[in-house]
Amino acid sequence: MRLKLTLSYDGAGFYGSQRQKRFRTIQGELEKAIYIVEKKEITIKTAGRTDRGVHATGQVAMFDSERQILPVDYKRALNSLLPEDIRVSKIEQMPDNFDPRRDATRRDYLYRIKVGSYNPFLARYALQIEKMPDLDAMKRAAEIFIGTHNFRAFSVGDDKISYVTTVLSSYIKVVRDWIYYKISAVAFFRHMVRRIVGLLLDIGRGRFSPETVEQFLAGNAPQVSAVKAAGLILRRVRYD
């Protein structure tokens, strides 16, 4: 039977989600736990990779099981075997043709920024800046990303045929001294959210105007610098 897993993890202790031989990864730890239950090697497939230090509250993975175990019991078994910085929040039986990457209709990401004095306890979970930027400028710039655009300037690597995707929502919310950037898109490219946040902060600091976003999307500006991974969370993968 094909099982869909919804995962949460603290990415600070992992070298990303994709399995790597010499480093601790989400895929590696999950496959080790599944091996104990299945008594054979199993390769999982995820809805998308997350980089080193990136967190998740709604990552999705899939694998085929030959064990006749109820999903609720399989969830309990895996959580008893997984390290404390990974948890399976849900397991569902799916049709045999379910594909977590291909079938996803949108992904939701959150980036967290803390304004004020540096707090070492937040170092792994947020970007910290000293002064509040121009929030109105950042909010106007965030809205420009909505729509279908070429995000080559906001991506790293040359492994994609196309860097075009559709952003469904992009906005900034402020709660006291916290800035939350939320973005949903059909698909994301490597470092895309972190580079968007980097440009938004440059705009908030007065380096660029909000309208500069259009120049970057048109490829008429240099590649954007990425902010640190610690503030990024994959919130949810949707299939509706």
Residues 6+ apart with CB under 8 A from 123: 230
168-191 pLDDT per residue, tens = 999 999 999 999 999 999 999 999
Let me know if residue 120 belongs to a domain: yes
- Among candidate residues 51, 103, 134, 240, the one labeled active-site is 51
In terms of domains, do 79 and 113 share one? no
Residue 21, Cβ density class (10 Å: 0-12 exposed, 13-18 middle, ≥19 buried): exposed
Domain count, the chain: 2
Compute CA distances 85 → 18, 29, 109, whole Å: 16, 10, 19
In terms of domains, do 88 and 129 share one? no
Let me know if residue 100 belongs to a domain: no
pLDDT score of 235: 97
Structural domain ending residue among the three candidates 64, 94, 124:
94
Paired tokens of 236: 């949810």
Provide the domain limits for residue 40.
Answer: 2-94
In terms of domains, do 85 and 123 share one? no
Please indicate whether residue 108 is annotated as part of the active site: no
**b (16+ CB within 10 A) / e for 189-216:** bbbbbbbbbbbbbbbbeeebebebbeeb
Encode the chain (240 residues) as per-residue pLDDT tens digits.
999 999 999 999 999 888 888 899 999 999 999 999 999 999 999 999 999 999 999 999 999 998 889 999 999 999 999 999 999 999 999 999 999 999 999 999 999 999 999 999 999 999 999 999 999 999 999 999 999 999 999 998 777 788 899 999 999 999 999 999 999 999 999 999 999 999 999 999 999 999 999 999 988 777 788 999 999 999 999 998
In terms of domains, do 70 and 26 share one? yes
In terms of domains, do 22 and 117 share one? no
Let me know if residue 101 belongs to a domain: no
